[in-house]
């Protein structure tokens, strides 16, 4: 049974509006693009959705990411790592046994190595893509982040019900990357969709508003994924939560507050 959902804001980057929306009315304006990860409390245990940035990026992002760090104007605080953030709500990261990766970009996979006891749920398509990312996508992947023991990696093919009770369902949403996935949380009273990078505005009104080419694996797949998310939202009357929602300070309850 689904009990609680926590949303952790852990770092941001500042970039021109045209990066995430090439049709922006104010293309040169600068927006704060937040980084998020989430913790779900389920009667079968804790499930993390994404893991934030790496401790080494927090310590010295230029030597960690190279010159891109400067281009991307990333701001992180010393305690923005997933272990510190979970500690703030009294959760020991060792007690999190299941971690879902929406995809393996550095702002989502950076904290994987801090989960000592978890199994990582990654779409098989994402795994293959991340081992050999094409073109500009290479800048967003850091191989060492997902260099996890094979026994703790579970590759998923398509839709997957994590605990088999219909409450936490992985939904493939390719487009941003080849194996991107989102998570449907079907609660008894409320439902949520953690869209990650499949959409950037929670009302999903942005279907044709695409980011720049370096943030897209397949335009067609991204549009189809957004249409799938709309159908899912309508079927479950779900609230959609987007990782990089620029309006997050108004639209989200941030941890230690939570959703039920």
**CA R_g for the chain:** 17
Round to whole Å and give the CA distance between 176 and 218.
7
Contact 28, 17 (CB under 8 A): yes
**Minimal distance in Å, beta carbon 52 to Zn ion?**
11
**Minimal distance in Å, beta carbon 166 to Zn ion?**
27
Contact 37, 81 (CB under 8 A): no
Closest CB to Zn ion among 42 and 103? 103
Closest CB to Zn ion among 169 and 215? 215
Closest CB to Zn ion among 41 and 197? 197
Round to whole Å and give the CA distance between 186 and 1.
9
**Minimal distance in Å, beta carbon 65 to Zn ion?**
14
**Minimal distance in Å, beta carbon 243 to Zn ion?**
6
**Minimal distance in Å, beta carbon 117 to Zn ion?**
25
Closest CB to Zn ion among 48 and 186? 48
Sign of the torsion formed by the C-alpha atoms of 217, 220, 223 and 225: negative
Contact 73, 12 (CB under 8 A): no
**Minimal distance in Å, beta carbon 107 to Zn ion?**
5
Residues at the interface with Zn ion (CB under 5 A): 107, 197
Closest CB to Zn ion among 107 and 245? 107
**Minimal distance in Å, beta carbon 98 to Zn ion?**
20
Sign of the torsion formed by the C-alpha atoms of 171, 206, 107 and 63: positive
Closest CB to Zn ion among 39 and 186? 39
Closest CB to Zn ion among 20 and 46? 20
CA distances (Å), 136 to each of 72, 131, 132, 198, 242, in order? 14, 14, 12, 18, 23
For Zn ion, the nearest residue by Cβ is 197
Contact 107, 52 (CB under 8 A): yes
């Amino acid at each position: 049974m689904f009990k609680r959902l926590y949303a952790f804001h852990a770092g941001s980057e500042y970039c021109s509006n045209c990066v995430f929306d090439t049709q922006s009315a104010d293309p040169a304006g600068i927006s704060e693009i937040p980084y998020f990860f989430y913790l779900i409390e389920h009667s079968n245990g804790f499930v993390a959705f994404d893991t934030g940035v790496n401790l080494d990026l927090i310590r010295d992002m230029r030597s960690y990411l190279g010159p891109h760090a400067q281009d991307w104007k990333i701001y992180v605080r010393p305690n923005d790592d997933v272990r510190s953030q979970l500690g703030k709500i009294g959760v020991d990261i060792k007690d999190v046994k299941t971690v879902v990766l929406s995809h393996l970009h550095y702002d989502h996979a950076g904290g994987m190595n801090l989960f000592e006891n978890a199994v990582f749920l990654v779409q098989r398509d994402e795994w293959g893509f991340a081992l050999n990312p094409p073109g500009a996508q290479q800048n967003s992947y850091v191989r060492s982040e997902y260099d996890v023991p094979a026994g703790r990696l579970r590759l998923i093919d398509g839709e997957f019900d994590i605990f088999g009770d219909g409450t936490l369902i992985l939904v493939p949403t390719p487009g941003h990357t080849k194996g991107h996935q989102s998570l449907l949380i079907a609660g008894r009273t409320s439902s949520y969709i953690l869209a990650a990078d499949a959409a950037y505005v929670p009302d999903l009104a942005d279907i044709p508003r695409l980011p720049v080419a370096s943030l897209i694996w397949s335009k067609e797949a991204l549009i189809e994924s957004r249409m799938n998310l709309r159908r899912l939202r309508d079927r479950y009357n779900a609230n959609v939560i987007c990782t990089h929602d620029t309006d997050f300070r108004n639209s989200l309850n941030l941890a230690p507050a939570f959703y039920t």
